[in-house]
Amino acid sequence: MTRLIASVVVLAALAILIILNVNYQSPINLFGAQLSNVSVVVIALAGFILGIVYSAVLHIISRICRRQRASLKKTGKNLTAKATELAEWEKSVAADKEAGAAGTAASDSDPETTMSASRMESEGGISDAPRSRVRQ
């Protein structure tokens, strides 16, 4: 209710100001263009409207920047989570390799399950040279 009363008082004061200054005119220089006999009320209203447009543009730019910051912050959190997940995965892979290396060292002593490297290579199991892949 107080906002309504304050708004009515401000609008009444503005109306009185306009009514009292309608007869006053002034020359204006608008970026080099000389305008003469322009009403003071028109100059005031133009300034008021330009101020509103300027404030609206600043507000829109501010909201866009806020959204971008929030998006970047969210992306940063996602990347941090993925980096942590990757580090855990790398640790598990390294642990699996160590466990696998220990397991193969124990199984190498069993002659029935081991196969010599030359025998595996001759059967096409392993090779030091990279194999070329033919695309079909």
Is 70 part of a structural domain of the chain? yes
Counting the structural domains of the chain, the total is 1
d(CA 6, CA 43): 25
Q: What is the pLDDT of residue 45?
A: 84
Report pLDDT digits (tens) over 42-68.
888 888 899 999 999 999 999 999 999
- Comparison of pLDDT for 22 and 56, the residue scoring more: 56
Is 101 part of a structural domain of the chain? no
Is 83 part of a structural domain of the chain? yes
Residue 67 CA to chain centroid, in angstroms?
7
pTM of the complete model:
0.47
Is 128 part of a structural domain of the chain? no
Is 66 part of a structural domain of the chain? yes
pLDDT exceeds 60 at position 4: yes
Range of the domain at 80: 42-91
